[in-house]
């Protein structure tokens, strides 16, 4: 039986932190609250040993609340939160670390899709923030679309002392004809040693109701060739996975698509890489 650690899971309570990105028509399945206790229940139902909770809105107040909740929940091994990368990053991180659950802050992410500037990640002021994260021992989760993968590679290359994690394999364009471009550009990112990638968020990139393990196999196989088992992390992207069948179907597909690997390699992607990259042993 494989022991998994979920590297990418979300929670939200909209009375405290509204989620304006949720479209009530196309995302009806997640147009509700998913408090931390519901995530713990979901992990338990699927035999998953723990998770990294990832920010959903660019607000430091959300991160403070996620950390406070994590302090009370053993299943939450760490939080990837948010700080203003263009501001005083060390001071913001110090404030979060001094607050409830602050020891569970393991990384930072910024939802880039809300930025009008598609080159936001490449800005000099953002770059100074990324360098500060490296000095503070925090990873940065890169959330970009597949057309931004070349830019992501440039950002990772320009900040060699910061550890990066590419979310959702760069949003694989399963419903378009651009898979060849995605595969080429993902390989460019993978050439850089200070970046890993999450096997997450794939099922919602296909046409609604169309994804299958067979359709995802070429994607997983390419990621394995590009990054190797030592730099890939399993993630559910729950509760967004609820839009395409839920946690269990994606988990079972992931286990099937990686079952041919050695026991050592499976253990690495299942959770050991997540623990190492996010410094959970610390």
Separation of alpha carbons 230 and 264, rounded Å: 10
In contact, 192 and 218? CB cutoff 8 Å: no
Say which residues have a Cβ less than 8 Å from residue 172's Cβ, sequence separation at least 6: 146, 179, 182, 202, 205, 219
CB-based burial label for 161 (10 Å; 0-12, 13-18, 19+): exposed
Quickly tell me which residue has 């590297």 as its tokens: 7
Q: What is the pLDDT along the chain (282 residues), one digit of tens a residue?
A: 899 999 999 999 999 999 999 999 999 999 999 999 999 999 999 999 999 999 999 999 999 999 999 999 999 999 999 999 999 999 999 999 999 999 999 999 999 999 999 999 999 999 999 999 999 999 999 999 999 999 999 999 999 999 999 999 999 999 888 999 999 999 999 999 999 999 999 999 999 999 999 999 999 999 999 999 999 999 999 999 999 999 999 999 999 999 999 999 999 999 999 999 999 965
CA dihedral sign, ordered 117, 136, 141, 194: positive
Q: Would the pTM of this model clear 0.85, i.e. be above it?
A: yes
pLDDT at 177: 85
Contacts of the segment 84-91: beta carbons below 8 A, 24+ positions apart: 84/60, 84/129, 85/110, 85/125, 85/126, 85/128, 85/129, 85/130, 85/133, 86/123, 86/125, 86/126, 86/129, 87/129, 89/128, 89/129, 89/132, 89/133, 89/136, 90/132, 90/135, 90/136
């Amino acid at each position: 039986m494989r022991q998994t650690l979920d590297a990418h899971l979300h929670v939200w309570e909209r009375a405290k932190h509204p989620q304006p990105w949720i479209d009530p028509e196309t995302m009806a399945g997640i147009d509700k609250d998913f408090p931390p206790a519901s995530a713990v229940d979901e992990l338990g139902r699927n035999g998953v040993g723990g998770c990294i909770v990832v920010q959903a809105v660019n607000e430091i107040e959300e991160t403070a609340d996620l950390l406070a909740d994590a302090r009370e929940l053993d299943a939450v091994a760490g939080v990837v939160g948010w700080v203003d990368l263009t501001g005083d990053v060390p001071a913001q991180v110090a404030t979060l670390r001094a607050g409830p659950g602050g020891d569970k802050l393991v990384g930072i992410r910024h939802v880039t899709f809300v930025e009008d500037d598609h080159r936001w990640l490449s800005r000099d002021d953002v770059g100074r923030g990324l360098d500060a994260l490296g000095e503070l021992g925090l990873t940065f989760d890169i959330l970009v679309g597949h057309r931004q993968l070349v830019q992501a590679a440039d950002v990772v290359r320009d900040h060699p002392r910061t550890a990066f994690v590419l979310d959702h394999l760069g949003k694989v364009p399963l419903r378009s004809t651009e898979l060849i471009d995605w595969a080429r550009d993902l390989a460019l990112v993978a050439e850089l040693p200070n970046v890993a990638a999450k096997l997450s968020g794939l099922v919602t990139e296909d046409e609604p109701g169309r994804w299958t393990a067979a359709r995802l196999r070429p994607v997983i196989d390419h990621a394995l060739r590009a990054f190797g088992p030592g730099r890939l992390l399993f993630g559910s992207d729950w509760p967004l996975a609820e839009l395409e069948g839920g946690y269990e179907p994606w988990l079972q597909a992931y286990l099937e698509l990686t079952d041919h690997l050695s026991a050592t390699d499976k253990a690495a992607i299942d959770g050991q890489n997540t623990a190492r990259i996010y410094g959970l042993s610390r």
